[in-house]
Amino acid sequence: MIEAGLIGFGLAGRAFHAPVIRAVPGLRLAAILQRRGNEAAELYPDVRVVRSVEELLAIPEISLVVIATPNDTHYSLARQCLDAGRDVVVDKPLTPTLEEAIDLVKFAEQRGRLLTRYQNRRYDGGLARTLRSRRRYSV
């Protein structure tokens, strides 16, 4: 069983990530970082709710962290989690800049950690057609 921690309980965390983590066999939602409010505790009473990244990373069982926060926090949070020895899934976009994305990928590789971007609409009809057409023209 992979123990997962979720950072962020706004729309993305509440509507996409928490339910998906719960639905995937082999994943267990172990903790949710919600800085304010009690909605996470009310919706997921069996899941530990924490108030800081440090508190989430202090849970040794968590090996995967899903980041569902504002885009400008993705880089720093992902780097902190990778540095703490966790695998990381970041809601799209991975980072706001290409330079940050390249640095983050290199950082994950250096630490032997997995890093990926969450793309929940990859196989939607319109997006799938766009991706296929881009592949035809890419070098």
pLDDT reported for residue 128: 52
CA gap 126, 99 in Å, rounded: 28
What topology is assigned to 2-137 in CATH?
A: Rossmann fold (3.40.50)
- The 10s digit of each residue's pLDDT in 56-68 is 999 999 999 999 9
pLDDT level of residue 135 (50, 70, 90 thresholds): very low
pTM, to two decimals: 0.85
Residue 79 predicted with pLDDT over 50: yes
How much is the pLDDT for 118? 84
The residue ranges of every structural domain in the chain are 2-137
The span from the CA of 64 to the CA of 87, in Å, is 5
Please state whether the peptide bond connecting residue 60 to the residue before it is cis, i.e. omega within 30 degrees of 0.
Answer: no
Amino acid identity at 37: G
Distance between CA atoms of 83 and 77, rounded to whole angstroms?
Answer: 10
